[in-house]
Amino acid sequence: MVTRIASRLDVHVHPFHSRDLDDVLAIEQESFSEPWTRGMFEAELLGNPFARFLGAFCHGEMPPAKRLLGYICYWVVFDELRLMNLAVRPDHRRQGIASHLVRHAVEEGIAHGTTRALLEVRAGNRLAQKLYQTLGFQQYGRRRAYYTNPNEDAILMQLQLAENLQP
């Protein structure tokens, strides 16, 4: 599926593969204080039957190393969709790419019979919390001292999929 997003780029959302890992790792390193390692991504890609990965790719005029704009890792586990990891290249944030990826993940989850989506987000990451709230997620709990570097609580959020994803 090709979608024109706020940045006026034609973005293609489709599964990413191990050949895309170098680009994924570059975005991961720029995005998180505790980034996933290559081994963690490979374990999910190759060894976790519940794991799914989507990338937002821009084709055309961009150099190959910049074509992956963002990605999402999520699990489809029976009736639950678990958003595990989401990141967008810093120079393409706040242009609708992250919400586009979440929507695609939710649509796939619904197609596989999930009834709710769950995630954890750093208590200090207000922009991510706002993104998820805009999409209809609501806070349902908190995990004390869940994250390190820096030490921080996790906000637990959920979306009941029967209520549909917000536009």
Of the residues 61, 120, 146, 163, only one is catalytic, namely 120
Q: What is the dihedral of CA 23, 118, 151, 97, to 10 degrees?
A: 40
Residues 2, 60 contacting (CB under 8 angstroms): no
Of the residues 71, 74, 132, 147, only one is catalytic, namely 132
Whether the upstream peptide bond of residue 150 has omega within 30° of 0, thus cis, is: yes
CB neighbours of 105 closer than 8 A, spacing ≥ 6? 52, 54, 72, 74, 81, 83, 117
Active site residue 120: yes
Q: Which residues are catalytic?
A: 120, 132
